[in-house]
Structure 1
Amino acid sequence: MRHLLLITGLVVAAAAAPTLASARTACDQRAHDRKVTGTVLGAVGGALIGNAVADGKGAIIGGVGGAVVGNQLARTKCDTGRTYSRASNRATARNSNYRQASAECRMVSRPYYDDRGRVSYHQTRVCGQ
C-alpha cells in the first residue's frame, strides 16, 4: 500500500510541475487541467487494478499504463480560430455590377461575446444597409 501511495504522489507531483512555469489562455488552461486530471485518475485506477491482478510490480505497470490511457482520453483542443457572423446583403453580392455595389459597403464596429462572455468590438464589413 505504501508503494501505491508513493507512486500516486510521484505522478501527481510530475503532472503538477509544468503548471508552475507556464502562462496559458483560459481554454488552454482548462484543456491542461483536464489532461492532468485524466492522467492522475488513470494512474490511480491503473495502479489499483494492477495491484489487484498481480502482486509486486503490477501496481507500477498498471499505474503507468493507466496514466497514459487517462492522459490520451482527456485530451481536448482549443479552437484558436475566431468565427464572427458578418451581416451582408447577399442579393447585392450576386449583382452582376458588383463594383458599383461594393461602393455602398462600409466598416462598422459591432459587439461580439468571447468565450468568457465578455463583450468585445470588432470591425465588420456591412454592405447595402
Structure 2
Amino acid sequence: MANIPTDRKYTKDHEWVATSGKDTARVGITDYAQRQLGDIVFVELPKKGDRFEITEPFGSIESVKSVSETYMPLTGTVATVNEGLHDEPEQVNDDPYGDGWMIEITFTKPAELNDLLTAAQYEAYIAQSAD
C-alpha cells in the first residue's frame, strides 16, 4: 500500500496539502500518484505570483509513461516554487512528501480545506479505485 502521511489532506486527483500557517500550504503529489506515473523526467510548475482557482491545472508532470496535469487543491496564489525540481525532477519519485514538494501557496478560501480528504479517506479512495 502507498505511503499516506496523516499530517496532511488529499485530493481525489492525488495531490497532497500540508498547511504551514493560517493561510499557507505546501502542495505536491502523493506517493500513490508518483508510483502510477513511473520515472518522472520533467516537472512544469507555475511562476511565483500566479493565481489559481480550486481544481484548475497549475502544472504538469512528464514521466517515461505519460504526461499528467497537476491540479490546484485550494484557491490561492503561488508563494514559492520548488526550483530544485527543474534539475532533479526525480525527487518527486524519491521523496514525494519531502524534497519532491511542488509549490507553496497562500490560500484565500480556508473553508475549501474541509472538502479535502483525510489520510484514511484517501487510502479508502485509492483502495476503491484499484478494485
Report the TM range for the smaller structure's normalisation: under 0.3
Bigger relative contact order, structure 1 or 2 (CA pairs below 8 A, ≥6 apart): 2
Larger Rg, first or second structure (1 or 2):
1
Q: TM-score, normalised by structure 1?
A: 0.22
Structure in which a larger fraction of residues adopt strand: 2
Q: TM-score, normalised by structure 2?
A: 0.22
